[in-house]
Structure 1
Amino acid sequence: MNCGSNTDSKLDDLRNFVGDENSNHSFSVGKSNSVQNENPLPGILPLYHTARIYTKISPYMLNITQTGSYLVRLHFFPFSFKKSHLADALFNVSASNFSLLSNFSVRNSSTEFPVIKEFFLTIAEGNFDIYFIPADETRFAFVNAIEAFVLPQNFFIDNLTAIPPLRTIDAALRTLYRINVGGPEVNDSLWRNWVPDNDFVTFGSSVKASSYDGEPQESRQGRLVVKEIAPDVVYKTYKKVSIDTNGSSNFPNITWRFNVSKEARHLVRLHVCDPLSVSPGTVKFDLNISTNFSKVIDPNSGGVSDMRTPLFYDYVVFSDDSGYMSFSIAPNEMSSVKVAFLNGLEIMEFVGNSTFEVPVEHETRKHIALKIGLAGGAALILVLVLLLSVCLRLRRLKPIKALILKNEFLYGRGRSPSSTTKRTENASIVTNLNLKLKMSLAEILAATENFNPKLLIGEGGFGKVYKGTLESGKKVAVKRSDSSHGQGLPEFQTEIMVLSKIQHRHLVSLVGYCDEGLEMILVYEFMENGSLRDHLYDRKECLKNPSVETAFTWKQRLEICIGSAKGLHYLHTGPDGGIFHRDVKSTNILLDEHYVAKVADFGLSQSGMPDPDHISMSLKGSFGYLDPEYFRTLQLTNKSDVYSFGVVLLEVLCARPPIVNSKQREEINLVEWGMFWQKEGQLEKIIDPLLVGHINQNSLRKFGEITEKCLKPQGADRPNMLDVCWDLEYALQLQQTPAHREAHEDSTTTAASTDLALPPMQNLSYNMFPVDDYSDTTASAVFSQLRVNDSR
């Protein structure tokens, strides 16, 4: 459909967009107006010279003659009309009970290219309505062109190829990316655009694209001819990474990174065509998607005999809360030929259900007035009956407010008693802990004023966090589970079991928990100063008042790092192999009223030393902090926490997130950026501007060495957390060295002899102090003695 026009418009020999002003076609445009581009720029296709605008909710109705999977494209191109501009539009789009677009705008779009949104839906024969819904009364919606055509049979093979199985009849998908790895920009037979992968490679960017001559073999995957899924040119180009016979490689893997919605479900489709194997089964490679999905890809499995057979793989994958999704391929250790390759990649996001209620059409005002009158009368009678019932009940029962609130939260949000019973049975392991920490829901509701939104202080993977005050006057942080955030019962159980066994000055304490009905609530000691991340990135106060720019001093930052390291060391050295935190990051390091650091959030923790022969297929952690060795081998050790802590150390120094969007590729990844300048011996070039001129150079040098050790690629080369504690304590002592002594050292000591001044601390026996009570007092005494020896 060529929206807002009475003439047809062709984009190519096969696609003819029909002018929707012509009433001879089987569709209806709804209550809308057509507008025309008053000053079209040269080169702009006639298809984008007109548009249809909606100032009220209205459907664009299509007559579908064949039930099946459809590709639906909506074209948007902003232009000016009648002293207005389409860029001012803000609206939602819904269809088939799915919310296709939410708060959509083209304000920041190019004036040269259209914005095209592509969706896959299952549509039944009959009327298919696409609703355009202005955001409010002052806004409007628009569309320039609409495409809708049935896909080849079994384009999505329900319950066959997707892992886990996918039923597209119950889903809608929005295309995010379609990548031709190693190849040029091309269009396929469905007029879909495939773009090169160069802009998405995060490292190993110098890996060259490869190609091969000849045509891919025609093959069938299930009942589907694969050539209809992607063009031959996609399967003829690829990028690869290999390991030679000596076991060396400039790039052990290739990683691509994409911006995606946080905590959303995606359908990922990989395209491979193996030109490298000499016989079936000689090439296998590892695929890792972000932190939660791993798979061994065998292009020659399933009875495929030809080495150039195009194949595709579908996976349903959840994104985390980072806003990114990464794809990494690496040679598999069991493969006889150590090589990994990829030809193409598609990412589609599952579209959520729409909360929009379809308006009733074709009713006379008389009928509407009659319905309103009847509804109003019924409502009045119902209110009177309810008031009478409530009065009688209050006189007879007089229930306390807490119990009313309790019932409201247990059953008042569409939750049935049967579903409550099911959740309670699943949580039996928590109930059977017989802890004295269990709290009633009524007590928590009173503490949080019925989860008052004004008391909301944060939100994470488990749910929302509220500030509360118990009856005793104790301030607490109340974390309430929300299934839409990704974490749930396993993390709830783990948190309780871990925190009920440990207690340390630098670990957040669990005050209590509640598992009544469907509620899973954790109650912690309240940390007045929030998370470490808040203080590193929130500069509003510094901008308002320059005098507080150095309030978060280098000394304070070192003390926070030391406290966090002590907490992690305590975890690692517990009985039965200790506890691995698995999610060390700046948001999980909290600060109390005195800025004492405490490690928090143990929902992903693992107790006990893992079996070296056991490989878990479930990666846990946060993007940007994940240990590359754990990511590659799927084997967890306490050195994985050490790596994540190394990332935190760089955050503390540079005051920037682990991953950022940057035009400078080398700055995207904080670890790569920081280690580059560390090896150059110029780490001071990337420190937090608020610290410039406030760090002792010896302290900075020592801090850089500690960080570099923590970020070693191989876990065996990294220190343990006790080593890190000692090194950080030494960096703090160097920071506190008197200025006159530092000047004396600089004038009499060469760089080489300064380096030699460090080993006395490093050569101390770590066994001379109690492991579980590594205190500030003990460390201070040791370093005081070092200063005496040094002065001698």
Structure 2
Amino acid sequence: MAAADTSRVFLILIIALVMVIVVLLGICWRFLGPGIMRRLLRPRRCPSEVPEYFSGNMSGNLRTITYFDYVTLKKATKDFHQKNQLGRGGFGPVYLGKLDDGRKVAVKQLSVGKSGQGESEFFMEVNMITSIQHKNLVRLVGCCSEGTERLLVYEYMKNKSLDKILFAAADAPAPASAPPFLNWRTRHQIIIGIGRGLQYLHEESNLRIVHRDIKASNILLDDKFQPKISDFGLARFFPEDQTYLSTAFAGTLGYTAPEYAIRGELTVKADTYSFGVLVLEIISSRKNTDLNLPNEMQYLPEHAWRLYEQSKILELVDGRVQGGEGFEEKEVMLVCQIALLCVQPYPNSRPAMSEVVRMLTMKTDQSIPAPAKPAFLDRKNLNGDRDAASSDTATMEMMRSPAGYWMMTPSPMLEVDRPYDMSFGK
């Protein structure tokens, strides 16, 4: 009998305790709000635990990054306010965020949409950037995958992206918001840093990587104007035994190597070509294509080559840089020549990035090879008379040019019709 009474008392106590807990939860829900309560009730994840949404999709050192919830990043960016937008990439906008511990970060909000393109970029970039570490590559702080939201959190770069400084004159900023001016010493430092970052990706990381989208907007600058390559959403691991592969085009026209843009053939030398175009932009402070200029100046590599042939390559240099701090004519001419070596028409004739860095940093007065003519179409032939005879002549002339070679020669690797991904073709 005593045992029955004890059980009854115990049951009553349990029921009373449950009721108290329910009442307290109701009060908290009422006064704290649903959002905070959901966060408090959400199971805590061990910092070293990889979230379930990465299972089967990812590899690499995922424990080096933080997994943020969406509410935290929404608060850090002030609800992704327009005033906090740092820029916009092909997959979505990037916002300045301030975390609760005071750290500033750059939050890239991927546009997943119905195509799922942002989803693949999300997994690719997290996997890629957690597998590599170099002072000239941007560091991924963390990420968020919650519902349909896919966000990447990077270290914040005080001087933002290189394009916002280089092309400021073309964008005509207000004097109060004008970006800092880059003298030659700083530009040279940026060029070498980008080269070293690419050298690491191509030759020194555990896995050879082709970035595929080297351009001014994907180069970030820290407070000392040290460059960091960013945006690895289009990058690909590249098997060591693969000389090239035929793949769907991805990248930015104007920076793209002819063999890749026209025929879909991808090697690390495609990045070398993009680097060469970018160096010419850094030297001249102009975009690679500007249709507002006279015909012969519209395409930057073409314009640079004509000046080089005429021994007038210094005319390419931004007038504000000439005569400024650290400006050395001989050094500038050398860098221009290296850039033209990088944009040569055939991949095998372009130098490896380790060789590029060696030439950029050599102290002795060593000679470097003379570049070949870059690959571009002869506008005079293409826009000339349209009768049959003229058309035949134009076609023959184009076939003699480097660009014509790429357009007329069939690819020997047509059977490879998709890019290598993280699983190496599985």
TM-score (norm 2): 0.69
SS at match of 1:552: coil
Aligned to 1:664: 294
Q: How do 1:110-129 and structure 2 match up within 5 A?
A: none
Counterpart CA distance in 1 for 2:224 and 2:114 is 31
Aligned to 1:527: 157
State the Cα distance separating 1:612 from its structure 2 match: 4.7
Offset from partner CA, 1:640-683 (integer Å, 9 cap, x none) = 10000000000001111111113522222111111121222111
Aligned to 2:62: 435
Amino acid at match of 2:265: Q
State the Cα distance separating 1:703 from its structure 2 match: 1.0
SS at match of 1:691: coil
Counterpart CA distance in 2 for 1:673 and 1:478 is 38
Which one of 431, 445, 449 corresponds to residue 78 of structure 2?
A: 449
Q: How do 1:410-429 and structure 2 match up within 5 A?
A: 428-429=55-56
State the Cα distance separating 1:404 from its structure 2 match: 6.4
Q: How do 1:184-195 and structure 2 match up within 5 A?
A: none
Aligned to 2:340: 708
State the Cα distance separating 1:491 from its structure 2 match: 1.0
Instruction: Evaluate the alpha carbon distance shift between residue 651 and residue 434 of structure 1 in structure 2; reply closer, same or farther with a 3 A threshold.
Output: closer
Q: How do 1:594-743 and structure 2 match up within 5 A?
A: 594-609=224-239, 612=242, 615-662=245-292, 664-694=294-324, 695-730=327-362
State the Cα distance separating 1:692 from its structure 2 match: 2.6
State the Cα distance separating 1:446 from its structure 2 match: 2.5
1:491 matched to 2:99: no
Aligned to 2:386: none
- Which of the two has greater helix per residue? 2
Amino acid at match of 2:223: E
Instruction: Evaluate the alpha carbon distance shift between residue 400 and residue 519 of structure 1 in structure 2; reply closer, same or farther with a 3 A threshold.
Output: farther
SS at match of 2:231: coil
Instruction: Evaluate the alpha carbon distance shift between residue 402 and residue 676 of structure 1 in structure 2; reply closer, same or farther with a 3 A threshold.
Output: farther
Amino acid at match of 1:632: I
Counterpart CA distance in 2 for 1:431 and 1:406 is 28
Aligned to 2:382: none
Instruction: Evaluate the alpha carbon distance shift between residue 698 and residue 396 of structure 1 in structure 2; reply closer, same or farther with a 3 A threshold.
Output: closer
Instruction: Evaluate the alpha carbon distance shift between residue 401 and residue 471 of structure 1 in structure 2; reply closer, same or farther with a 3 A threshold.
Output: farther
Instruction: Evaluate the alpha carbon distance shift between residue 505 and residue 680 of structure 1 in structure 2; reply closer, same or farther with a 3 A threshold.
Output: same
Counterpart CA distance in 1 for 2:366 and 2:173 is 35
User: 1:405, 1:450 within 8 Å by CA — same for their partners in 2?
Assistant: no
Structure 2 unaligned spans of 5+: 1-23, 40-50, 369-426
User: 2:165, 2:179 within 8 Å by CA — same for their partners in 1?
Assistant: no
State the Cα distance separating 1:725 from its structure 2 match: 1.3
- Please report the RMSD computed on the Cα atoms of aligned residues, expressed in angstroms: 3.2
Instruction: Evaluate the alpha carbon distance shift between residue 401 and residue 589 of structure 1 in structure 2; reply closer, same or farther with a 3 A threshold.
Output: farther
Instruction: Evaluate the alpha carbon distance shift between residue 543 and residue 429 of structure 1 in structure 2; reply closer, same or farther with a 3 A threshold.
Output: same
Offset from partner CA, 1:510-554 (integer Å, 9 cap, x none) = 000111110100000000001111111113899849xx9994101
Amino acid at match of 1:723: E
Aligned to 1:460: 89
Q: How many residues are paired up? A: 327
State the Cα distance separating 1:621 from its structure 2 match: 1.0
Aligned to 2:104: 475
User: 2:285, 2:318 within 8 Å by CA — same for their partners in 1?
Assistant: yes
Counterpart CA distance in 2 for 1:567 and 1:405 is 45
Amino acid at match of 1:676: R
Counterpart CA distance in 2 for 1:632 and 1:610 is 24
State the Cα distance separating 1:402 from its structure 2 match: 8.3
Structure with the greater relative contact order (CA < 8 A, sep ≥ 6): 1 or 2? 2
Amino acid at match of 1:435: L
User: 1:585, 1:648 within 8 Å by CA — same for their partners in 2?
Assistant: yes
Offset from partner CA, 1:199-243 (integer Å, 9 cap, x none) = xxxxxxxxxxxxxxxxxxxxxxxxxxxxxxxxxxxxxxxxxxxxx
Aligned to 2:398: none
Offset from partner CA, 1:623-649 (integer Å, 9 cap, x none) = 100011222342211111000000000
User: 2:53, 2:145 within 8 Å by CA — same for their partners in 1?
Assistant: no
Instruction: Evaluate the alpha carbon distance shift between residue 463 and residue 405 of structure 1 in structure 2; reply closer, same or farther with a 3 A threshold.
Output: farther
Counterpart CA distance in 1 for 2:254 and 2:26 is 56
1:564 matched to 2:194: yes
SS at match of 1:523: strand
User: 1:610, 1:636 within 8 Å by CA — same for their partners in 2?
Assistant: no
- Which of the two has greater strand per residue? 1
SS at match of 2:146: coil
Instruction: Evaluate the alpha carbon distance shift between residue 399 and residue 479 of structure 1 in structure 2; reply closer, same or farther with a 3 A threshold.
Output: farther
Instruction: Evaluate the alpha carbon distance shift between residue 402 and residue 671 of structure 1 in structure 2; reply closer, same or farther with a 3 A threshold.
Output: farther
User: 2:208, 2:240 within 8 Å by CA — same for their partners in 1?
Assistant: no
Q: How do 1:535-554 and structure 2 match up within 5 A?
A: 535-539=165-169, 544=175, 551-554=181-184
State the Cα distance separating 1:450 from its structure 2 match: 2.3
Offset from partner CA, 1:760-779 (integer Å, 9 cap, x none) = 9xxxxxxxxxxxxxxxxxxx
State the Cα distance separating 1:690 from its structure 2 match: 1.1
Amino acid at match of 2:79: N
User: 1:494, 1:603 within 8 Å by CA — same for their partners in 2?
Assistant: yes
Aligned to 2:8: none
Instruction: Evaluate the alpha carbon distance shift between residue 614 and residue 647 of structure 1 in structure 2; reply closer, same or farther with a 3 A threshold.
Output: closer
User: 2:159, 2:223 within 8 Å by CA — same for their partners in 1?
Assistant: yes
Rg comparison, structure with higher value: 1
Q: How do 1:329-408 and structure 2 match up within 5 A?
A: 395=27, 397-398=29-30, 400=32, 403=35
Structure 1 unaligned spans of 5+: 1-391, 408-423, 735-756, 761-792
Instruction: Evaluate the alpha carbon distance shift between residue 580 and residue 663 of structure 1 in structure 2; reply closer, same or farther with a 3 A threshold.
Output: closer
Aligned to 1:772: none
Counterpart CA distance in 1 for 2:328 and 2:73 is 48
Counterpart CA distance in 1 for 2:243 and 2:367 is 37
User: 1:507, 1:598 within 8 Å by CA — same for their partners in 2?
Assistant: yes
- What percentage of residue pairs aligned between the two structures are identical? 33
State the Cα distance separating 1:608 from its structure 2 match: 2.2
Instruction: Evaluate the alpha carbon distance shift between residue 723 and residue 521 of structure 1 in structure 2; reply closer, same or farther with a 3 A threshold.
Output: same
SS at match of 2:134: coil
Aligned to 1:204: none
Instruction: Evaluate the alpha carbon distance shift between residue 485 and residue 604 of structure 1 in structure 2; reply closer, same or farther with a 3 A threshold.
Output: farther
Counterpart CA distance in 2 for 1:586 and 1:506 is 14
Q: How do 1:509-520 and structure 2 match up within 5 A?
A: 509-520=139-150
Instruction: Evaluate the alpha carbon distance shift between residue 579 and residue 663 of structure 1 in structure 2; reply closer, same or farther with a 3 A threshold.
Output: closer
SS at match of 1:700: helix
